[in-house]
Chains A and B, each alone.
Chain A
Amino acid sequence: MQPVATTFFFYFLSGLTLIAGVLVITRRNPVHSALALILALLGQAGLYLMLYAPFVAGVQIILYAGGIMVLFLFVIMLVNIEKSQKEEQFNKQWVVGILAAVALGVLFVLVYTKGKSLFPERVAQLPEQSNTQEIAVMLYGNYMFTFEIASLLLLVAIIGAVVMAKKRI
């Protein structure tokens, strides 16, 4: 089936993600920030869908929006919100911030002007049907070693968390 209203959905989803991202840093209430972050992550999942990567979109929803953000909210709800609302929201390092923003802006402009020669005109569209299989072949075939190292890193993090949280093991 041919995709419909692609342009509309692209601008809708990226606008949603951007607005939600701005809300994350401007809201005073941490719970509202977390909820805005969830919205941003969902918008990103939609963008993955538009890139013919349904598996990545599904995993994004399950892991980030459904798993990690629930734990975020879980912790934030236990924080004393009245106290945290009185605290300062932004720090004073605006010089570094402006430098970083300018550098990123220059990068974007460069990509926009010179990008045509750097990137291929059209990305080859993988068939949507085999997306999950392609990812599996890549992860467990071509990039097996990197994948295992990443999982080892996670294992170390889990053990570290258990060691720090439990006094007597």
Chain B
Amino acid sequence: MLDYIKSYLGSSTTPGQAGNTFWASVYILLIFLGLSVAVIAMNWLERKILAHMQVRLGPMRVGPHGLLQPIADAIKLLIKEDIMPSQADGFVFWVAPIVVVITAFTVFIVVPFGPTHAVTDMNIGVLFMLGVSSLSVLGIVMAGWASNSHYPLMGALRSSAQMVSYEIAMGLAVVSAVLMTSLNQTGTGTLSMIGIVQSQQVQQVWFAFKFFPLGLIAFFVFAVAMVAETNRAPFDLPEAESELTAGFHTEYSGFRWSLFFLAEYSAMIAVSSIAVTLWLGGWLRPFPHLLSGSTWDLVFSLLAGITFLILGLMAFVGVFRMPKHPYFRVQTIGLAGFGVVLGLIGLLLFLPPVRDRVQDIFWFSAKVAFFMYLYIWYRGTFPRYRFDQLMKVGWKVLLPVGIGVLILTAVAGVLL
């Protein structure tokens, strides 16, 4: 048993390819835990950042600066009454959130957090991610129809129309990035997520900057389509509060609703990681050739620890700015403890053995986190599109641009 566990450690492939069930399960558990923590953090960050964009304070009551708010929300959702409309289609109503959650989490088995840090590497990685995430619309349609109510049905219809139309633009953008992988010395392209990042490493350029500006345009098309695909603002018509109450999950409450919430955020992380893998170099650090050499390697590898130290420092600034009233004493101590934990994590990341293993995970997560911030920023900035405008953007702008970029990329690949 111990030998079986140890046998993987020396290998340079993912546990799925090495056929090591133990480490594959460990990776799956780690990704599941990491995702749950990320969703909780996103919940807090979104409310907080949106509030600051609108010159509000946001959640401040539960814990210092509302840090424990997501936990309070989760407890509230779990103990809330679970209502099923009496006229609803019981089985479909029950299975819809499960379908959405399963599809949102399944895609993560091919997400490459590092050259060996993925559950498995599939030959059809990108295709698998797009296919499984396109199944999530089925869950949404099922939820909307099974509720047997007007608003959810309208939301589900909008959602399916929107996702089917934007999937095409998305696919075209992805194909133009996959075309670029075939420009290696070997001449064969690849659909595997790890292979795509490795070919960016070989070609010494992130695909967003290849054939300037073609890669950038394809990246832009994908970045717009992915917001529409995850039903987020400004394309959040399936759950437009002002028109449809809450869209397809109007009739859902308690735990089932929280499953939809979880799935929405993990789908956002999933499409962001597709974008990062295809165009922004996955786990590769920025400027690997411009700023090369062991000194720069050291500087970039220290950044992970420095980030956590800065976060811890910010928590301590919060400690000193806390009101000195005895009423706030527990919160002040809690915030100081949080800062100490963040600082200790930062110091841990400075240790050479940890630093080398965590570096690629850090860069991947940092890029995905940037996209997550963009999602919140969009929501705070753009007004919601009207449905005909949404369709016009999808079919008359993104689709022709996607086809054009695909053709030009093919031409550039042959000529250059």
Which A residues are closer than 8 A to B by beta carbons? 1-2, 29, 31-32, 35, 38, 54-55, 57-59, 61-62, 65-67, 69-71, 73-74, 77-78, 128-129, 131-133
Of the candidates B17, B132, B135, B141, the one whose C-beta lies within 8 Å of that of A1 is B17
Q: Mark B130-141, 1 if CB is under 8 A from A, else 0.
A: 111011011001
Q: Which of B129-178 contact A (CB under 8 A)?
A: 130-132, 134-135, 137-138, 141-142, 144-145, 153, 156-157, 160-161, 163-164, 167
Of the candidates A29, A32, A62, A132, the one whose C-beta lies within 8 Å of that of B191 is A132
Interface contact A54-B135, CB-CB below 8 Å: no
Interface contact B124-A54, CB-CB below 8 Å: yes
B220 to chain A, nearest CB (A): 23
Interface contact A67-B156, CB-CB below 8 Å: no
B341 interface residue (CB < 8 Å to A): no
Interface contact B161-A74, CB-CB below 8 Å: yes
Of the candidates A2, A35, A132, A133, the one whose C-beta lies within 8 Å of that of B19 is A2
Q: Is the interface of B mostly helix, strand, loop or mixed?
A: helix
B377 interface residue (CB < 8 Å to A): no
**Number of CB contacts from chain A to chain B under 8 A:** 81
Interface contact B124-A70, CB-CB below 8 Å: no
Interface contact A66-B167, CB-CB below 8 Å: yes
A2 nearest CB neighbor, chain B only: B19
Bound form: Cα–Cα A96–B249 in Å: 46
B389 interface residue (CB < 8 Å to A): no
B127 nearest CB neighbor, chain A only: A58
Chain B residues touching A, range: 20 to 34
Interface contact A74-B145, CB-CB below 8 Å: no
Q: Contacts A1-B19, A35-B92; is A66 near B157 (CB within 8 Å)?
A: no
A135 to chain B, nearest CB (A): 11
B223 to chain A, nearest CB (A): 21
B163 nearest CB neighbor, chain A only: A70
Q: Contacts A58-B131, A65-B135, A132-B191; is A70 near B141 (CB within 8 Å)?
A: yes
Bound form: Cα–Cα A35–B138 in Å: 9
B267 to chain A, nearest CB (A): 14
> What residues of B have a CB within 8 angstroms of the CB of A65 in the complex?
131, 134-135, 138
Interface contact A73-B141, CB-CB below 8 Å: yes
Bound form: Cα–Cα A31–B144 in Å: 12
Interface contact A62-B134, CB-CB below 8 Å: yes
Interface contact B135-A73, CB-CB below 8 Å: no
Bound form: Cα–Cα A58–B134 in Å: 11
B10 to chain A, nearest CB (A): 17
B128 interface residue (CB < 8 Å to A): yes
A37 to chain B, nearest CB (A): 11
Interface contact A77-B156, CB-CB below 8 Å: yes
B141 nearest CB neighbor, chain A only: A73
B188 interface residue (CB < 8 Å to A): yes
Q: Contacts A2-B19, A77-B156, A133-B188; is A62 near B141 (CB within 8 Å)?
A: no
Of the candidates B19, B122, B167, the one whose C-beta lies within 8 Å of that of A54 is B122
Interface contact A74-B141, CB-CB below 8 Å: yes
> What residues of B have a CB within 8 angstroms of the CB of A71 in the complex?
160, 164
Bound form: Cα–Cα A149–B124 in Å: 27
A17 to chain B, nearest CB (A): 17
Interface contact B124-A31, CB-CB below 8 Å: no
Interface contact A70-B164, CB-CB below 8 Å: yes
Interface contact A77-B19, CB-CB below 8 Å: no
> What residues of A have a CB within 8 angstroms of the CB of B191 in the complex?
55, 132
B330 interface residue (CB < 8 Å to A): no
A131 nearest CB neighbor, chain B only: B123
Interface contact B127-A77, CB-CB below 8 Å: no
Interface contact B128-A77, CB-CB below 8 Å: no
Interface contact A70-B160, CB-CB below 8 Å: yes
A42 to chain B, nearest CB (A): 8
Interface contact B124-A55, CB-CB below 8 Å: yes
B126 to chain A, nearest CB (A): 9
A4 nearest CB neighbor, chain B only: B19
B18 interface residue (CB < 8 Å to A): yes
